[in-house]
Structure 1
Amino acid sequence: MSIELPQRPFFLAPLDRENSGVDFLGLRQANLDMMGEMIPSINNVTSYIRPFSLLSWIYWKFHDLCTEAGIEEATSDDLRLFRERIEVLFTWGASLHETAERIPGISATPPPDQDGVKPLTFDAWGRVQSSTSLIAALWYGPASKTVTGLGFLSPVPGRGGFFRVSRAGAALAQALDNKLREDGERYNRLLGTLDPVEANESDAIALWSLWSPETVEHEEMASFSSALTSEEAIGSNDTLLSRRSTTFALARHHLQEVGAEQSIPKIRRGMCFSVRPDGSNYDVPTTLEECRRKWLTLQMRQLQRLALETLLSWCEDQILRYDVVDTSAMAERFKKSWALTEYGLGEARNLAELIFKLDTKSNSVEDFIRSVNTNDLPDPFSIMAEITEKFRQRDPGFAVPCFFGLLQCASFAGAENAPPNMVQLGSAPRLSLRVLRHRLVGLGDVTVAEAFEYILEAMVISQHFSTAVNRFDGRNQRLRLAIEETGLTALVSSAWVPTVTEDRLAMLLTLSAQSDLVSKNFDGEFFSNGGIKNESI
């Protein structure tokens, strides 16, 4: 996009709508990078194996049909029309049935019938390639590809939009092809041709019975599980496969130790603290120790981000509800709430004493885990739950768990064996865990109110201004606060509602359950059913 730079100072146009978004402090990317370190190649919507098979089948079958027709170099329009036809048929069937997980494009408005049938193009269905296609960046596209994904599709050099299937992708495609051929008439009429075709609702329903993502063929399971995990790769950090496999092995080890069904939140916590439901601890294999430290660091970063973003909302709340427009006045209001809460910090009163008190319980990551398991420290999940619940209730003191959470994150970042690449991720622009610690420790023995005021000014308000300025495109601005002569003013009518971005664990285990690597019950809980069952293809 070309933007004309301003030649002189100017005033922004008045806001005509509320700012919306998820990342007003610019912290999100560091969290996503950590998730990519732990569970690479998938995202939070890649919940089915079948779309991977379908995408592989589209490019595999298109090449096959071109070869049969003697087409040496197909056009991008040829490929686009074939892909759109298959995707429209797939999502049309999905729109007529309930699915447990999300499928893109099912909310599209069907076009009117033409002699009892409908056209099968995105234009006719009002769909957008960049957001409702399976190959879109929001959905299964990146996860299907080589280099950064699971390795089913490889881009054809110099041919934008063209992909060739890998060996694993061909195995997925052939498994699905065998299933689709069970309805030979529809296969030949609707799928096995490059000619433009139209279909009716009965066709969509019949095809859905074959390619519904709720069922997976054994051959698909075998091929997909080999791409998703590898027993031999566990404990290594060299490849996407090894990192994904090691994180899955940590989750599987927890389920094996628990010996019962568990929800995602319980599994997520168990992977950090190695605790069974009866409160007893179990050992983590040496090959998984580093992974556990990294997984816990990710959760601490989740806490840091939630705490800072909730403090931005707290500032907005102070302005909108109480007309408090000065950070020092906000700090004094916070101090009154903080005095009611101890968090097991004893007589510590200034910032240096607070951090020192926490540091004595977090000399190493293992010390931190031990302190949590003996109730000497609250775990990050309970702090995030407290922040979320107090915020939901509009409790005026919801800044208190935010402040303590930041202290605990700073202390954790000082643990001697905290993963260096993880605690440094984001550096100063995105307020890494290490930067958070350095800035708070550098304040010395300032009072709690002074420390809180510093956090508001340097890590919340200034961070917000910096993020908004860096993302200003010459047209739309993302500011939620501004500084006037009388103090801070809110540019929104209601306080922001921050949320925690999912860490992909649910998707990893859901795909693993479809691959028969773990089991999943009707309540969405997972349990171990043995080891990784990779099969050669």
Structure 2
Amino acid sequence: MSADALAELQRLGRKSRDCFVVEPARTGVGGVDPLGLRQINFDLMNEVFPGLNNVARQIRPFTLVTWAWRRTIDLARERREKLPVSAHEDFVARVEVAFVWSMLQIYDQGDLELPGKQVVATRWGEANRITFGDDDWKEFVKARRNSTALTAAINYGPGLRALRLLVDDANQPGVRVPGPKTDGMLDAFEARIAPMLGHRVFNVRGECTLKRGTAEEWAEHWDIDEVLDEERTTFRKRLMGGLASPQRRSGFELLSGVFDEEQEESVTRAAMCDGGDAAAAQRWHRVQVRQAFRLALESLFEWMTGEIGGGILDTGALATRLLEAAGGKTDGTAMEWLKSLVPEELSAVGAMESLEATFATRAGLERAALTALAVALTMPEELQDGSHRQERLPLRRARDDLDRLASETPLAFLHHIVEQWIIAQHTYWSVGRGLADARAGAKRILRLRLVLEPGGWRVTRGGGSNRMPRPTPDRLRTAVSLAIQSGLIEG
């Protein structure tokens, strides 16, 4: 429990002379990573496309933020000002918000790939002006810094550093300066927005106002879709050229070797498992195998909560229902049964496609999920994730369990999957994250969705769900988007 919540309880206790009814607790329901498996997926993706994430898909925001840091530093030097880091960060935030608001004047919100667009649209969607620098603005900047800002760690922040577009200032910790070989890109961008640069937004530190009409006029100058040749050149160097890390270069070479704008994304994803450099293809293949493993277990978790519904089921009953629904060679050993679920030549990508196809109606979900799990478990050792994060259930640990239980019955193996790989994983991560949030005074999110009653497992209040999981995006769309915009591939 957070210190603030405890202090409030103590205050109410001192104030009260008798029992009283309290308001129902307001708790959100979580579930993005119910089994705690996601981090290994991210680790594997970093071996193929380091520096990328699933959000930062456009070149222009990278340019914009890098230029904003150069602008604020240049202004301070010209005026011989020694400013705190917060003053520079505020200037960058103004440029970011002005850009997002400007783009919202010409693009429908749904057509604009920009983090923070919804927050900006909600706050200033009907407004005629934005006032920067007042108390409301300062509170807004503080609230968005780690979430909806372009520079946030979940958005463009990591890419700006990993691609060396921004580096640390040697003279002032916390200040960022443009990285190597960015001058051509930034000069070209500044020339493009030259008609805008006389405005106070780009020149003052105190309060200033941006009118809606002005923001709309600016849109044509820094349009997110109008990438400059100098931006393309800068990104080619960082994705496949001399400034690219060896792994990022091999990842983009692998992509460019198999990409065809006419083919489905899944076809590209599968082709990358066998194309180009063998080491790069193997690293990418490991991503897909791990994706299939995680999606299968999370799908089974959602199936379990649906089966339990408002009642109670024990582990044995869940395992029995799962075995009956999945079918296969149930009279043999666990290993024989598992292999009987896998059609010949079924890939990890194909298994995920088949599983996702069952989500709409859930018909055949049990068999499809166990098939995807079987595909992942029966892959050669070199395609396992190789992670040492034991608490994240690496494939090596799962495979060791399978080897130990291989001669047991299919029902005994499913009992282990339900109890150890799903329920134990879910309980460990839900309780652990909840305690961490409480200590930090963070969001109150109910993550624990199953509790043990005398007769078996019960779904917690609010823990039931009609949603189905989806694979953690593997950065392919980001890689394709940046490769097309930089001219590495045609799309």
Assess, with a 3 A threshold, how the Cα gap between structure 1 residues 104 and 325 changes in structure 2: closer, same or farther. same
Counterpart contact for 2:63–2:186, Cα < 8 Å: yes
Counterpart pick for 2:333 among 350, 368, 378 = 350
Aligned to 1:95: 104
- Alpha-carbon distance in structure 1 between the residues aligned to 2:85 and 2:52: 27
Percent identity (aligned): 26
Aligned to 1:328: 316
Aligned to 2:397: 435
Q: Secondary structure at the match of 2:220?
A: helix
Counterpart contact for 1:168–1:227, Cα < 8 Å: no
How many angstroms does 1:132 deviate by? 2.2
Q: Secondary structure at the match of 2:272?
A: helix
**Is 1:466 aligned to 2:428, yes or no?**
yes
Point out the more displaced range, 21-30 or 122-131.
122-131
How many angstroms does 1:143 deviate by? 0.7
Assess, with a 3 A threshold, how the Cα gap between structure 1 residues 338 and 112 changes in structure 2: closer, same or farther. closer
Aligned to 1:141: 157
Counterpart pick for 1:296 among 285, 306, 309 = 285
**Is 1:498 aligned to 2:469, yes or no?**
yes
Counterpart contact for 1:348–1:357, Cα < 8 Å: no
Point out the more displaced range, 57-66 or 126-135.
126-135
Q: Secondary structure at the match of 2:47?
A: helix
Counterpart pick for 1:23 among 18, 27, 33 = 33
Aligned to 2:222: 211
Assess, with a 3 A threshold, how the Cα gap between structure 1 residues 3 and 289 changes in structure 2: closer, same or farther. farther
Q: How does 1:114-263 map to 2 (within 5 A)?
A: 117-121=129-133, 123-124=136-137, 126=140, 128-145=144-161, 149-156=162-169, 159=172, 161-181=174-194, 183=195, 186-190=196-200, 192-196=202-206, 197-230=208-241, 241-255=245-259, 261-263=262-264
Aligned to 2:74: 64
Counterpart contact for 1:56–1:170, Cα < 8 Å: no
Q: What residue identity is the alignment partner of 1:180? A: I
Aligned to 1:400: 367
Aligned to 2:359: 391
Aligned to 2:60: 50
List gaps (5 residues or longer) in structure 1: 7-12, 234-239, 274-283, 359-371, 521-537
Q: What residue identity is the alignment partner of 1:110? A: W
Counterpart contact for 1:175–1:217, Cα < 8 Å: yes
Counterpart pick for 2:49 among 39, 43, 66 = 39
Counterpart contact for 2:151–2:157, Cα < 8 Å: yes
- Alpha-carbon distance in structure 2 between the residues aligned to 1:497 and 1:473: 26
How many angstroms does 1:158 deviate by? 7.7
Aligned to 2:348: 380
How many angstroms does 1:324 deviate by? 5.3
How many angstroms does 1:175 deviate by? 1.9
Aligned to 1:445: 407
Q: Secondary structure at the match of 2:237?
A: helix
How many angstroms does 1:268 deviate by? 0.7
Counterpart pick for 2:454 among 480, 485, 500 = 485
Counterpart contact for 2:44–2:385, Cα < 8 Å: no
Assess, with a 3 A threshold, how the Cα gap between structure 1 residues 15 and 81 changes in structure 2: closer, same or farther. closer
Assess, with a 3 A threshold, how the Cα gap between structure 1 residues 294 and 402 changes in structure 2: closer, same or farther. same
Residues 478-535 of structure 1: CA deviation (Å, up to 9, x unaligned): 2100001121111044235212110001111101111111111xxxxxxxxxxxxxxx
How many angstroms does 1:157 deviate by? 5.4
Counterpart contact for 1:88–1:121, Cα < 8 Å: no
Aligned to 1:367: none
Counterpart contact for 2:87–2:205, Cα < 8 Å: no
- Alpha-carbon distance in structure 1 between the residues aligned to 2:421 and 2:431: 15
| Aligned pairs, number | 455
Counterpart contact for 1:38–1:247, Cα < 8 Å: yes
Q: Secondary structure at the match of 1:168?
A: coil
Q: Which runs of 4+ in 1 moved over 6 A?
A: 1-4
Q: What residue identity is the alignment partner of 2:452? A: I
Assess, with a 3 A threshold, how the Cα gap between structure 1 residues 313 and 158 changes in structure 2: closer, same or farther. farther
Assess, with a 3 A threshold, how the Cα gap between structure 1 residues 138 and 150 changes in structure 2: closer, same or farther. same
TM-score computed with the length of structure 2 as normaliser: 0.85
How many angstroms does 1:142 deviate by? 1.4
Assess, with a 3 A threshold, how the Cα gap between structure 1 residues 199 and 390 changes in structure 2: closer, same or farther. closer
**Is 1:307 aligned to 2:323, yes or no?**
no
Q: Secondary structure at the match of 1:198?
A: strand
Assess, with a 3 A threshold, how the Cα gap between structure 1 residues 435 and 82 changes in structure 2: closer, same or farther. same
Aligned to 2:416: 454
- Alpha-carbon distance in structure 2 between the residues aligned to 1:2 and 1:329: 39
Counterpart contact for 2:103–2:224, Cα < 8 Å: no
Assess, with a 3 A threshold, how the Cα gap between structure 1 residues 121 and 46 changes in structure 2: closer, same or farther. farther
Residues 127-169 of structure 1: CA deviation (Å, up to 9, x unaligned): 5222222111121111101xxx100111235845411111233
How many angstroms does 1:354 deviate by? 4.1
- Alpha-carbon distance in structure 2 between the residues aligned to 1:2 and 1:481: 24
Counterpart contact for 1:43–1:507, Cα < 8 Å: yes
Point out the more displaced range, 94-103 or 308-317.
94-103
Assess, with a 3 A threshold, how the Cα gap between structure 1 residues 490 and 111 changes in structure 2: closer, same or farther. closer
- Alpha-carbon distance in structure 2 between the residues aligned to 1:252 and 1:336: 45
**Is 1:509 aligned to 2:480, yes or no?**
yes
Counterpart contact for 1:179–1:210, Cα < 8 Å: yes
How many angstroms does 1:381 deviate by? 2.4
Assess, with a 3 A threshold, how the Cα gap between structure 1 residues 352 and 161 changes in structure 2: closer, same or farther. same
Assess, with a 3 A threshold, how the Cα gap between structure 1 residues 2 and 152 changes in structure 2: closer, same or farther. farther
- Alpha-carbon distance in structure 2 between the residues aligned to 1:132 and 1:121: 18
Counterpart contact for 2:105–2:219, Cα < 8 Å: no
Counterpart contact for 1:337–1:400, Cα < 8 Å: yes
